[in-house]
């Protein structure tokens, strides 16, 4: 049968019908809110290129987390901007580091909220690279031990999940072994498995003060042109013990999200990164798109591609809309 018997528009006639045949849902359960933690007290430092996002000191982050939990959002991911940076990023595994302090404070104030910690060195090194620099290269194997120390210190502070974002080879197994050796065998690893060398991390690097002082990240992050390689990265991370794999960025890489889910049927996360946020946010501020529809469309698309959940700076904005779906 075909037109005129078949009319696709019949099921689009009313919102009630559209709801009945809607294939993809976005719920509060699918959201993770990223937070930038800075030293100090009472600090709320707006990030210039990410309107609506601020760097927060630990006390402010705790208040924000109470609000996040009240909204029903299940998790936050923490990024730390330390007081001191050095060549190895040693502030990354300090017991009194910003992320460690924030994790302890959030877990004690809002225990039900899951705290995911970003495990990487770029925010902590004075050169801004995600590992130990030897000559003009990032030394893979020397970095593993440092990432493992950082992950263990996050677990010790009470992190529910650790999320390595450095893209060194072998970091998942190195972190798994270190966690297990310290009695943290129940702490899952959310691996940034297919992380691309994207221009769209620009606003984040301003927020996290992690722009490389020389070169770029193309010797460790993936070439945006590669899809098969992403599957290989995911396969290796799963073999090494990753519990959840992430694709990042999200919107320009929906084919990767789809292929990863189809191939491995494992838990898949996607990161709607700072540049995606800033892009949508500029359209909203220019009055060019409807805020709610644009944000919802961007997130539903990521879910439709196969992501189980989305790390997004819009989490706190969409949560109230999702609570009242009939509105
Ligand atoms: C750290 C890290 C980055 C992001 C998350 N973890 C930046 C980078 O790799 O340069 C980007 C997040 C965003 O853009 O929102 N390695």
Confidence (pTM)? 0.97
List the domains of the chain with CATH numbers: 25-326 (3.20.20.70)
Ligand 1 center to 175 CA (angstroms): 19
pLDDT in tens, the chain (327 residues): 999 999 999 999 999 999 999 999 999 999 999 999 999 999 999 999 999 999 999 999 999 999 999 999 999 999 999 999 999 999 999 999 999 999 999 999 999 999 999 999 999 999 999 999 999 899 999 999 999 999 999 999 999 999 999 999 999 999 999 999 999 999 999 999 999 999 999 999 888 888 999 999 999 999 999 999 999 999 999 999 999 999 999 999 999 999 999 999 999 999 999 999 999 999 999 999 999 999 999 999 999 999 999 999 999 999 999 986 544
Ligand 1 center to 241 CA (angstroms): 22
The answer to whether 315 touches 39, Cβ cutoff 8 Å, is no
- Scan for tokens 């494992």, then name that residue: 266
- 150 CB near ligand 1 (under 6 Å): no
Ligand 1, atom 10, residue with closest C-alpha: 201
What's the pLDDT tens digit per position in 279-295? Answer: 999 999 999 999 999 99
Residues annotated as part of the active site: 195, 248
Ligand 1 center to 166 CA (angstroms): 9
The answer to whether 33 touches 75, Cβ cutoff 8 Å, is yes
- 165 CB near ligand 1 (under 6 Å): yes
3-state secondary structure the chain: CCCCCCCHHHHHCCHHHHHHHCCCCCCHHHEEEEEEEECCCCCEEECCCCCCCEEEEHHHHHHHHHHHHHCCCCEEEEEECCCCCECCCHHHHCCCCHHHHHHHHHHHHCCCCEEEEEECCCCCECCCCCCEEECCEEEHHHHHHHHHHHHHHHHHHCCCEEEECCCCCCHHHHHHHHHHHCCCCCCCEEEEEEEECCHHHHHHHHHHCCCCCCCCCCCCCECCCCCHHHHHHHHHHHHHCCCEEEEECCHHHHHHHHHHHHHHCCCEEEEECHHHHHHHHHHHHCCCCCHHHHHHHHHHHHHHCCCCEEEECCHHHHHHHHHCCCC
- 196 CB near ligand 1 (under 6 Å): no
- 205 CB near ligand 1 (under 6 Å): yes
Neighbours of 47 (CB within 10 A): 19
- Scan for tokens 């120390």, then name that residue: 149
């Amino acid at each position: 049968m075909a037109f005129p018997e078949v009319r696709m528009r019949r099921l689009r006639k009313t919102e009630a019908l559209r709801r009945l045949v809607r294939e993809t849902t976005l719920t509060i359960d699918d959201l993770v809110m990223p937070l930038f933690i800075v030293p100090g007290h009472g600090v709320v430092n707006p990030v210039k290129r990410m309107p609506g996002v601020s760097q927060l000191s630990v006390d402010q982050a705790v208040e924000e987390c109470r609000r996040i939990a009240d909204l029903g959002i299940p998790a936050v991911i923490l990024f730390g901007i330390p007081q001191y940076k050095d060549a190895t990023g040693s502030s990354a595994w300090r017991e009194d580091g910003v992320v460690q302090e924030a994790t302890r404070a959030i877990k004690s104030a809002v225990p039900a909220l899951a705290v995911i910690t970003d495990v990487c060195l770029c925010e902590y090194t004075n050169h801004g690279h995600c590992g130990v620099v030897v000559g003009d290269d990032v030394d893979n194997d020397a970095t593993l031990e440092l990432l493992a120390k950082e992950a263990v210190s996050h677990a010790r502070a009470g992190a529910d999940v650790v999320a390595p974002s450095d893209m060194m080879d072998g970091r998942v197994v190195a972190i798994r072994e270190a966690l297990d050796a310290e009695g943290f065998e129940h702490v899952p690893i959310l691996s940034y498995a297919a992380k691309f060398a994207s221009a769209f991390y620009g606003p984040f690097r301003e927020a996290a003060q992690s722009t490389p002082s020389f070169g770029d990240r193309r010797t460790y992050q993936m070439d945006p042109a590669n899809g098969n390689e992403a599957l290989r990265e995911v396969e290796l991370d799963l073999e090494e013990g990753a519990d959840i794999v992430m694709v990042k960025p999200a919107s320009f890489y929906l084919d990767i999200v789809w292929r990863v889910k189809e191939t491995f049927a494992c838990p898949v996360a996607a990161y709607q990164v700072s540049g995606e946020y800033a892009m949508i946010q500029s359209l909203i501020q220019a009055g060019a798109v409807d805020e709610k529809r644009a944000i919802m469309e961007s997130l539903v698309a990521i879910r439709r591609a196969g992501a189980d959940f989305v790390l997004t700076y819009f989490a706190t904005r969409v949560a109230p809309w999702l609570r009242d779906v009939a509105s």
